[in-house]
Amino acid sequence: MNEEITVEELREMPQGEYLLIDVRDSAAFALGHIDGAVNVAPEQLCEAQLPNDKPIVVCCRSGIISDEIAAQLRDEGYQAANLAGGYVRWLGQKIALQSSADRAAEIERSITKKFHRSIFSKFAKAINEYELLKPGDKVAVCISGGKDSMLMAKLFQELQRHRKFPFELVFLVMDPGYSSENRAIIEANARLMGIPITVFETDIFNSVYNVQNNPCYLCARMRRGHLYNKAKELGCNKIALGHHFDDVIETILMSMVYGGQVETMMPKLHSAHFPGMQLIRPMYLIREDEIKHWARYNDLSFIQCACRFTDTCTTCNPDGAARSKRQEIKQLIAKLNEGNPQVVMNIFRSVENIKLNKIISYKTPDGEIHSFLDGYND
């Protein structure tokens, strides 16, 4: 067996005659994987029962880590080969084979039919309840290429078809230094889904490459600044981000557990550095499981993280030693939810029902601190 096989060669191999091992983390695997793949973490391969009588194909995100693992398996006597280009290359070819006008129409119908109550209605509810749109708004719908932002773009398109007042949309994609394959997947998915994207380029990935502390946080801050700047240049007064209900819940708990304060991710914000601009989150009430369900139903696959350093970055690996605090909170919520399915909604309601006379102290937006002792003896 060759040391490396192509995606085309893999498609020609009959399933059952080889074992396909995907060594990406479990979260990435759950969001999308090659049919028939088995998810095994690199550190667990030594304990796995691997076949000696048939070839093993090793897959990672882009073929870098899997190449090293395949070489190690060959040294141990297995017939192992690396999948050239990894999952990203396979995904790009899959999307290219799917593209058609009928597919775009099917995706749109799923939003108005099957997922109307669980997704579209909650999208419209957030816009109405939090007053996210006004007549004459021009919104930059910011697309990262993941499932959340791509669905948000389709929801905005559907809303515009049934609009009660005029507003404009720009579907904005910032390329912060994507690999050519990652960018091709984003563009292919946009074509498949009928989203007319506007792409602009920055050099953010190179800027944060050598940053030791919190490179992902710095990258996110820089990306948002560039999005605001480009949106303003295009005449937009709002940018829309694809944060969903689960992001909100996780942020509440993260602020308490790691920040020692009570705060949440707000449905909308005034920009501190771009006067007249606002940030809105119209996916605010939509559960992540419903987004995943929609993607699976439509056989859509998206890249989890388009950062070109993901394969070698431990901070991007939720199952590694340096797993993110957000992933830890996700696992905590899942555990709590097992005993009480109302936990998530109760966490959300807790920031809707704060009683100022039942807390030790609170801080006003201008930094003034008020204590329960103020006026206690009055």
Q: Going by DSSP bridges, is the β-strand pair 238-240/197-201 parallel, antiparallel, or unpaired?
A: unpaired
Residue type, 82: N
* pLDDT the model gives residue 181: 84
Task: State in Å, rounded, how far the first CA of the chain is from the last one.
Answer: 85
* pLDDT the model gives residue 239: 98
* pLDDT the model gives residue 316: 43
Q: What is the DSSP string of 103-162?
A: HHHHHHHHHHTTTIIIIIHHHHHHHHHTT---TT-EEEEE--SSHHHHHHHHHHHHHHHT
How is residue 175 written in tokens? 């390329």
- Domain 4-94, CATH number (from 1.10.3720.10, 3.30.70.2190, 3.40.250.10, 1.10.246.90): 3.40.250.10
Give the rounded distance of the alpha carbon of 259 from its chain centre. Answer: 23
Residue type, 12: E
CA distances from 47 to 23, 29, 66, 274 (A): 14, 20, 17, 54
Hey, where are the domains in the chain?
A: 4-94, 100-242+286-302
- Listed in sequence order, the residues at least 6 apart from 371 whose beta carbon sits closer than 8 Å to its beta carbon are 360, 361
Residue pLDDT, tens place only, 72-114 = 999 999 999 999 999 989 988 888 777 666 888 999 999 999 9
- Domain 100-242+286-302, CATH number (from 3.40.640.10, 3.40.630.30, 3.40.50.620, 1.10.10.10): 3.40.50.620
Mean pLDDT of 195-218: 84
DSSP-assigned beta bridge partners for residue 83: 5
pLDDT band at 167 (very low <50, low <70, confident <90, very high): very high
- Listed in sequence order, the residues at least 6 apart from 69 whose beta carbon sits closer than 8 Å to its beta carbon are 23, 42, 45, 58, 60, 80, 82
Mean pLDDT of 123-143: 97
- Listed in sequence order, the residues at least 6 apart from 347 whose beta carbon sits closer than 8 Å to its beta carbon are 249, 252, 253, 333
How is residue 227 written in tokens? 């999005």
* pLDDT the model gives residue 306: 63
Q: Which percentage of the chain shows pLDDT scores above 90? A: 68
* pLDDT the model gives residue 322: 35
Q: 173 in helix, strand or coil?
A: strand
Residue pLDDT, tens place only, 258-304 = 999 999 999 999 999 999 999 999 999 999 999 999 999 999 988 77
Residue pLDDT, tens place only, 9-39 = 998 999 889 999 999 988 888 878 998 999 9
H-run or E-run covering 279: strand 278-280
How is residue 33 written in tokens? 């994987």
Lowest mean pLDDT among 45-49, 140-144, 190-194, 213-217: 213-217
- Listed in sequence order, the residues at least 6 apart from 269 whose beta carbon sits closer than 8 Å to its beta carbon are 278, 279
Mean pLDDT of the chain: 89
Residue pLDDT, tens place only, 295-347 = 999 999 887 766 655 544 434 433 333 347 888 899 999 999 998 999 999 99
